[in-house]
Amino acid sequence: MKAFLLSRIQSFRHAFRGWFYVMRTQRNVWIHSTIATAVFIVGLWLELSLIEWGIIILTAAFVFAAEFMNTAIEVVVDLASPDEHPLAKIGKDVGAAAVLVAALAAILIGLLILGPPLWLKLTKLLTGN
C-alpha cells in the first residue's frame, strides 16, 4: 500500500511539473487564463446555475487540455526532429489547430451561456430598470 501511495504522489509531482512548464513557457496559456478568470467573474455576477457552471468548467478544462497537449506535441516533435522538416511542421500545425478548435468552441459556449443573461443584466443597468 505504501508503494502505491508513493507512486501516486510521484505521478502528481510529474503532472504539476508539466503544468508549471506550460505556464512558464506558453504565452497563450496566460491568455486562456485571463479569459477564463474573466468568464468566471462574469459567471459569479450572473449567478449561473450548477449545470451552466459545469459546462463552463468543462469548456475551460477542454481548452487548457488542448493547449497542454499541443505543448507536449511541440516538445516531442522538436526532440524527434531538431531540424526543420515538413512533417514536423504539419504535426505542430495540427496541434495548434486543436487548440484553435477548442478555443472557438469555448467562445461559442460562452456566448450561448453568458450572452443572454449578460445582455439582460447590462440592459437593466443601463436603462435603470
User: For 49-73, what is the mean pLDDT?
Assistant: 98
Question: Per-domain residue ranges for the chain?
Answer: 27-116
* pLDDT score of 2 more than 80: yes
- Out of 47, 52, 67, 74, which one is annotated catalytic? 67
Domain 27-116 sits in CATH 1.10.287.3610: yes
For residue 84, the 8-state DSSP code is -
Cα–Cα distance for residue pair 33/46, rounded to 1 Å: 20
User: For 115-129, what is the mean pLDDT?
Assistant: 91
The residue type at 23: M
**pLDDT (0 to 100) of residue 52:** 98
* pLDDT score of 1 more than 90: no
With contact defined as beta carbons under 8 Å apart, do 23 and 13 qualify?
Answer: no
Exposure b/e, 49-70, CB count within 10 A at least 16 = b = eeebeebbeebbebbbebbbeb
* pLDDT score of 129 more than 90: no
Is 67 annotated as catalytic? yes
Does pTM top 0.85 for this prediction? yes
With contact defined as beta carbons under 8 Å apart, do 63 and 102 qualify?
Answer: yes
